[in-house]
Amino acid sequence: MKKINLLGSTGSIGTQTLDVIRSHPDQFEMMAMSFGKNSDIGSHQANEFRPEVISVADTETAVKLKKLLDYNPRILTGSEGLSEAACEPADMLVNAVMGRIGLEPTLQAIEHGMDIAIANKETLVTAGHLVTKAAMRNGVKLLPVDSEHSAIFQCLHGNIEKEVSQLILTASGGSFRDFKREELKGVTVKQALNHPNWSMGAKITIDSASMMNKGLEVIEARWLFDMPYDLINVILHRESIVHSMVEYIDGSVLAHMGTPDMRVPIQYALSHPMRLDLNGGQRLKLWEVGKLHFEEMDFERFRLLKLAYDAGKEGGTAPTVLNAANEAAVSLFLKDQIHFLDIETIVERALNDHNHVQEPSLEQIIDVDLNIRTAIERDKK
Return d(Cα 154, Cα 151) in angstroms, integer.
5
* 337-377 pLDDT, tens digit each: 999 999 999 999 999 999 989 999 999 999 999 999 999 98
- Flag whether 10 is marked binding: yes
CB 254 within 8 A of CB 248: yes
pLDDT of residue 28: 97
Burial (CB count <10 Å: 0-12, 13-18, 19+), residue 160 = exposed
38 annotated among ligand-binding-site residues:
yes
The reply to whether 149 sits in an annotated binding site is no
In angstroms, rounded to a whole number, what is the distance separating the alpha carbons of residues 62 and 178?
Answer: 45
Average pLDDT along the chain: 93
Q: 45 burial class (0-12, 13-18, 19+ CB within 10 angstroms)? A: buried
110 marked as binding residue? no
Alpha carbon distance 370, 249 (integer Å): 43
Tens-place pLDDT, residues 32-73: 999 999 999 999 999 999 999 999 999 999 999 999 999 999
Is 344 annotated among the ligand-binding residues?
Answer: no
Q: Examine the pLDDT at 181 and tell me if it is beyond 90.
A: no
Between 161 and 73, residue with greater pLDDT: 73
pLDDT greater than 70 at residue 198? no
Q: Is there a binding annotation on residue 201?
A: yes
Is 11 labelled as part of a ligand binding site?
Answer: yes
What is the pLDDT at residue 142? Answer: 97
Average pLDDT over residues 73-100: 94
Known binding residue 36? Answer is yes
Q: How confident is the model at residue 241 (pLDDT cuts 50, 70, 90)?
A: very high
The answer to the question of whether 146 is labelled as a binding residue is yes
pLDDT at 158 over 90: no
Residue 133 has pLDDT above 80, yes or no: yes
Q: Is the pLDDT of residue 281 over 80?
A: no
Q: Consult the annotation and say whether 247 binds a ligand.
A: no
Annotated binding-site residue? 285:
no
Q: Is 208 within any annotated ligand binding site?
A: yes
The reply, when asked if residue 165 is annotated as ligand binding, is no
Q: Has 293 been labeled as part of a binding site?
A: no
- Residue 380 annotated as binding? no
What are the φ/ψ torsions at residue 278 (nearest 5 degrees)? -90, 90
79 is in an annotated binding site: no
Q: Is 213 annotated as belonging to a binding site?
A: yes
Residue 121 marked as a ligand binder: yes
Percent of the chain with pLDDT over 90: 80
Structural domains for the chain: 2-140 (3.40.50.720), 147-310 (no CATH), 315-381 (1.10.1740.10)
